[in-house]
Structure 1
Amino acid sequence: MTRLGLGPVGVTLDVRADGGHLEDAVLLEHLGYATLWIAGGQLATLDPLRDVVLATERIRVGSAIIPARVHPPEDVVAFRRDLEATAPGRLITGLGGVQGGRPLHTMNAYLDQLDAADPPVPPGARVLAALGPRMLELSRDRAAGALALLVTPEFTANARAALGEEAALVVMEYVVVETDPRRARDAVREPVGFLSRVGGYPENLRRMGFTDEDLAETSDRLIDGVVAWGDVDAVAARVRRHLAAGADQVVLAVRPTGPDSVPRAEWRALAAALG
């Protein structure tokens, strides 16, 4: 289905100043996750991507996303060229962060420079953050596919129809392994609340049927619609709904609820449940 050849389940990795995330990367590779993704807010430099690739053996590493407003095309080209020399085929170049007026024009111009570089960053090695119909079309036409966050399985089905059968669709899902509704929702309310007010997220949430009141309050209805929470079986069932709706990979952004700031127990349990 996809030019990227992704496995069905990936996972996000939080970068830590003490370097402990590199040990976590090794653990996640050992547990069988298909891809490690590093969020764009942690990519003030692109070094964390290189460090994780070099700390692991085979697992692919994706940027989710490299913010175009921070890193010019020539930096992305040089970074990928150097990494390909030592670890070919390991990096998935996720791009986005073109906020403000004329985002499609801005992204097209950015991609033009990636295409014209020597060597280029080829379309088959990159994905675009995409929520709206036109950005999904751009992801289909000028990249290997799309990367989406804060979406429902119904969105996934519609995005698959827009992308066609050849483009990749990567769905990132906040996950809380917790059966108590209050604790589960509280664990994820802050990041969901922040994102639901920035960039293209508010418009897309409204397209999916959420109201202005849902967004203003970060309502329970909003969280239940875009977050996988509950016991391991409930989370696994939600992941399978996205896969059945057309996602090539579901990326687990696991939020801990207990005293441990790194959700290693949850990673292990979900890896076992999702095979």
Structure 2
Amino acid sequence: MDIGPVGVWGHGSWSEFGDPSALAELEHLGYGTAWLGGSPPADLSTIEPILAASTSLVVATGIVNVWDADPTVAVGGYHRVAAAYPDRLVLGIGAGHRPLVGERYTKPYDKLVSYLDVLDEGGVPESGRVLAALGPKVLRLAGERTAGAHPYLTTPEHTAQAREILGPDKLLVPEQKVVLSTDPDEARALARERLEMYYRLPNYTNNWLRLGFTEADITDGGSDRLVDALVAWGDEEAIRERIQAHRDAGADQVAIQVLNENRLPVLRALSAALV
């Protein structure tokens, strides 16, 4: 499966790119994969319109939430979509977050293992699935039982650590938020607006602490140091340098999430530098 060196990460149903001409343009610009965030449903029904409206885009879930998505339904959805669109589907799965899941969120590692067991029993191949992985334990699980890992909201330093844990032959696709703006106040304000919800999610904050950030970096909207590490901003060359840093650290693909209000014009502007 050719996922390409750069993917595009978006929330929900990808409604902004619902026009087939927009999807065709993304393909023409060289973006290889559409990553669907926002916990897509287990039956993968939101994937099919994107696949049907494009000719070569790989579509990946980033991620199906194991607490909400019945694994047997995910098995059926995977086989239905993969049969209709061979070599264009990646099933990304993950354990979500305790503050959002509530009391069901117990032993998330064990839940991931049992979910993978059901996928195995249903014939979903390891080559067709990845894990949302941040910490070493889940990264090792991703390397042992899936095609690789899709870390979210991380840094090139984390990418290097993830590559070391996964080994040289596993897929590694970090997500990277970007703002195309050379005004630091404007760029950081937009970044902080989009990062606010993540400061309340321990999966992310614990990972940042492991990377050397402090509790002070996470308070009061996040320090400039943290914001600048998590969100690449500046002109096309500045963003290219951040994407290249992930590649140099071992990423196979970088899934960029544009935070500017209108994503497609930014993706057009970035394509020459990134793809």
Further displaced range: 123-132 or 23-32: 23-32
Residue of structure 1 in register with 2:145 after alignment: 142
Q: Is the alpha carbon distance of 1:215 and 1:21 closer, same or farther for their aligned partners in structure 2, counting shifts above 3 Å?
A: farther
> Using the alignment, how far apart are the partners of 1:83 and 1:6 within structure 2?
17
Residue of structure 2 in register with 1:201 after alignment: 204
Residue 152 (structure 1) aligned with residue 155 (structure 2): yes
> Using the alignment, how far apart are the partners of 2:213 and 2:7 within structure 1?
27
1:1-275 mapped onto 2 (5 Å cutoff):
5-14=2-11, 15=13, 20=18, 22-41=20-39, 43=41, 46-99=44-97, 100-117=105-122, 120-217=123-220, 218-256=222-260, 261-275=261-275
1:184 shift after superposition: 0.5
> Using the alignment, how far apart are the partners of 1:12 and 1:53 within structure 2?
15
Mind listing any 5+ residue stretches in structure 2 that lack a counterpart?
98-104
> Using the alignment, how far apart are the partners of 2:28 and 2:211 within structure 1?
36
1:242 shift after superposition: 0.5
Q: Output the amino acid matched with 1:171.
A: P
The TM-score, its normalising length taken from structure 2, stands at 0.91
For the aligned residue pairs, the C-alpha RMSD in angstroms reads 1.9
Name the SS for the 1:176 alignment partner. strand
Q: Output the amino acid matched with 2:248.
A: A
> Using the alignment, how far apart are the partners of 1:71 and 1:196 within structure 2?
25
Q: Segments of 4+ in structure 1 off by > 6 A?
A: none
Q: Output the amino acid matched with 1:136.
A: L
> Using the alignment, how far apart are the partners of 2:92 and 2:28 within structure 1?
23
Write out per-residue CA displacement over residues 142-195 of structure 1, whole angstroms, 9 at most, x where no aligned residue. Answer: 100001122111111111111101111101000000010111011121332212
> Using the alignment, how far apart are the partners of 1:11 and 1:243 within structure 2?
16
Write out per-residue CA displacement over residues 9-32 of structure 1, whole angstroms, 9 at most, x where no aligned residue. Answer: 111234356873654322211211
Residue of structure 1 in register with 2:102 after alignment: none
Contact 1:175 1:228 survives alignment (8 Å): yes
Write out per-residue CA displacement over residues 85-144 of structure 1, whole angstroms, 9 at most, x where no aligned residue. Answer: 211121110000354331111100000000001xx1111110000000000000000100
Name the SS for the 2:31 alignment partner. coil
Further displaced range: 87-96 or 36-45: 36-45
Q: Is the alpha carbon distance of 1:213 and 1:43 closer, same or farther for their aligned partners in structure 2, counting shifts above 3 Å?
A: farther
The TM-score, its normalising length taken from structure 1, stands at 0.91
> Using the alignment, how far apart are the partners of 2:142 and 2:186 within structure 1?
36
Contact 1:12 1:252 survives alignment (8 Å): yes
Name the SS for the 1:150 alignment partner. coil
Corresponding pairs, count: 266
Contact 1:193 1:215 survives alignment (8 Å): no
Q: Is the alpha carbon distance of 1:263 and 1:18 closer, same or farther for their aligned partners in structure 2, counting shifts above 3 Å?
A: closer
Contact 1:98 1:106 survives alignment (8 Å): no
> Using the alignment, how far apart are the partners of 2:17 and 2:8 within structure 1?
18
Name the SS for the 2:243 alignment partner. helix
Mind listing any 5+ residue stretches in structure 1 that lack a counterpart?
none
Q: Output the amino acid matched with 2:227.
A: I
Write out per-residue CA displacement over residues 193-230 of structure 1, whole angstroms, 9 at most, x where no aligned residue. Answer: 21232141111011011111221222222111111110
1:43 shift after superposition: 4.6
